[in-house]
Amino acid sequence: MTDVKDNTTAEGGHYPLSGVVVIDLSHIYNGPYATFLMAMAGATVIKIEPHEGEHLRIRAALGGAALPFAMLNSNKKSIALNLKSPRGREVLLDMVRKADVLVENFAPGVTDRLGIGPSVLQEANPRLIYASSSGYGRSGPYRDYPAMDITVQAMSGVLSITGFPDSPPVKSGPAICDFFAGIHLYGGIMTALFERERSGKGRVVEVSMQESVYASLSSNLGMYFGRGGAIPPRTGNRHGGLAESPYNVYPTSDGHIAIICNNNRHFHALTKAMGRQDLNDDPRFLDLKTRVQNIDTVDEIVGAWTVGFKRDDLTKLLLEHRVPHAPVRNLHEVINDPNMHARGSLQWIDHPEFGRIVVPHSPMRFDGVDLVPLKPSSGLGEDTDAILDWLAYPDEEVTKLKQDQVV
């Protein structure tokens, strides 16, 4: 039987996390993204799910969430394990004794109630990194608040600053709180693994979604403090601190284009592309400060010019003049992005459950090794036998675990 731990490249080299074993109890987005990044760095990730599957897998079975599950669970081993049964918890402890990291994003207190909290697991393996992600943290007055991406966007202030000043708050389209937390969780795990190389001891790592997204409010916070604590208005597609102009999404004859000029060099490149170099000497537009003071006029002039072009023609013109810009693209264009496909960041795969789909790789590149070959997400419990073999369970024990519906 193939070893559960198989992390060498085709050329025999090693990925940065080769040999690291991760037990993944997480679900939906933020925990699975952290463990996905670890798998893409060469770690062996064993995904443990309840017998019915984790929430995102269930959604996939109902239709509509197949791609997110496939995106976040490439290259992970799958086992379905009943953690509410004493024998199921014993199997988890056996895994933990051979693992380096355990990741969970249950509500605070859930693993303690199941008898698999950090103190229990680190007693079994003092070198274990126990990593936990939640909406508001394991302490504090919000500890037990229910947390989903939109509720954390609301609580963190993201919703209040998104949208136009004369319209209600609007959530961010992407699940930013989930994924910001996942990125920070990955960083926390890597930090703890680095420390363990020196100390030989594991550590509990905690990340909250609310705290992970706070720093992204920086432009808006700058305007808040700059206004003496007065609540600033939503700025739509303009800079959150109203500190740059032009800075907006402008119409074209067949779509939209984003343009930003944060210094005179950019602005002069734009006016040259526009054939309006006379604007450079206009006292309303002499520098960034005066352009921001006359931001409505700037946007009116630029928008009246951009609408006369097709989006892609204008993109080429602005590229020639080195004006910072980008076309506003739809999802079909994004999943077929030639740059990301050329770099291997996006890849077409034939998934045994979901068919021909596009899935991402890690944004991180490690010199000296090729990207980890992408493997489709496993079916529920697909790797059970290989995992139990890795635990060196005898055949009769494996049979009994199945008969008792522990696995």
Catalytic residues: 239
The strand pairing partners of 255, in sequence order, are 252
Which residue reads 């493997």 in tokens?
375
What distances in angstroms separate CA 385 from CA 24, 241, 397, one per listed residue?
Answer: 17, 56, 11
Residue 323 contacts by C-beta under 8 Å, 6 or more apart in sequence? 259, 261, 266, 269, 270, 273
Residue 168, CB half-sphere, CA atoms under 13 Å: how many?
A: 3
Residue 132 contacts by C-beta under 8 Å, 6 or more apart in sequence? 103, 104, 105, 106, 108, 111, 118, 138, 204, 205, 206, 207
Q: Angle, to 10 degrees, between the axis of helix 295-306 and the axis of helix 264-274?
A: 40
Contact (CB, 8 A) for 215 and 62: no
